[in-house]
């Protein structure tokens, strides 16, 4: 019994001495800033976009003081034109009902002095457009951006045709016969 108590106390005390992890907040800010620069460079058409929500889903240690951050974030178009040279963080959001929004996920490598977007996938949110019916929105869903270098999915093979084959049901009923 005493052995269990000593073991329990030992495990409790060892639990207090943990190795400190990386400070994620400054890395997340750097990663989000790099992701937004990448988004505005590649995907923004006429106006800059700014992040509305962002979260770090996973931190992966890659090397000494080097981490990959897996992030998800949402963007919304601002009032600043893309070629204005302004910082998107200082721009007000566009107030139109049909303001373009996007949902993105990115993998960003952060070191002490360098931040690099490794991959980024974005989907434009088209749910705010009332010019389309709900059936169209359900069937069309989201527009996916094509990322160069990824292999395209193969087309499904066509199903075999059963034209000309008759398979009786086997229950003996038919529309041309009446019971008397």
Residue 38: count other Cβ atoms within 10 Å of its Cβ.
17
Class of 22-144 in CATH: alpha beta
C-beta of residue 108 within 8 angstroms of C-beta of residue 69: yes
pLDDT, one tens digit for every residue, the chain (180 residues):
777 777 667 666 665 555 556 788 999 999 999 999 999 999 888 999 999 999 999 999 998 889 999 999 999 999 999 999 899 999 999 998 889 999 999 999 999 889 999 999 999 876 544 443 333 333 333 334 444 443 344 444 455 555 555 555 555 555 554 444
């Amino acid at each position: 019994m005493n052995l269990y108590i000593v073991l329990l106390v030992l495990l409790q005390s060892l639990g207090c001495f943990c190795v400190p992890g990386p400070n994620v907040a400054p890395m997340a800010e750097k990663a989000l800033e790099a992701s937004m620069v990448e988004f505005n460079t590649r995907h923004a058409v006429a106006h800059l976009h700014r992040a509305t929500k962002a979260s770090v889903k996973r931190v992966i240690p890659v090397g000494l003081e080097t981490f990959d951050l897996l992030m998800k974030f949402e963007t919304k178009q601002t009032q600043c034109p893309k070629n204005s040279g302004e910082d998107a963080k200082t721009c007000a959001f566009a107030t139109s009902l049909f303001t373009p929004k996007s949902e993105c996920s990115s993998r960003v490598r952060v070191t002490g002095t360098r931040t690099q977007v490794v991959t980024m996938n974005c989907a434009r949110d088209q749910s705010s457009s009332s010019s389309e019916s709900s059936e169209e929105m359900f069937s069309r869903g989201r527009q996916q951006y094509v990322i160069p270098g990824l292999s395209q999915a193969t087309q499904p093979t066509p199903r075999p045709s059963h034209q000309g084959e008759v398979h009786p049901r086997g229950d003996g009923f038919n529309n041309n016969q009446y019971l008397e």
